[in-house]
Amino acid sequence: MTHGPPALLSSEEFTSLLEVSKADAQRDIPQLHWERLVALGYALRRLGVLGLTEAGIRRLAAGNDQTHLSARVPTE
């Protein structure tokens, strides 16, 4: 199965994804962040608690270096 490039996350959203990975040690993250992480398939909300999906684990492993995640547009 081929996966496309990971979705770009702001540094704050990536920090929220890291918080989700902490399970019981999660701090409260902004609602917009968890909604986006769930919409992207990186997190799943069950019984009021967020958990990482396999896609979320892969996204964390990819890091948040925006330069290699974004498409490079040639400049003239």
What pLDDT is recorded for position 18?
92
16 near 37, Cβ under 8 Å? yes
Rounded to whole angstroms, how far apart are CA atoms 60 and 17? 8
pLDDT along the chain (76 residues), means of 10: 69 92 79 93 88 93 67 44
pTM of the model: 0.73
20 near 50, Cβ under 8 Å? yes
Tell me, yes or no, whether 74 lies in a domain.
no
Q: How many residues does the chain have?
A: 76
Range of the domain at 64: 11-68
Tell me, yes or no, whether 60 lies in a domain.
yes
Tell me, yes or no, whether 23 lies in a domain.
yes
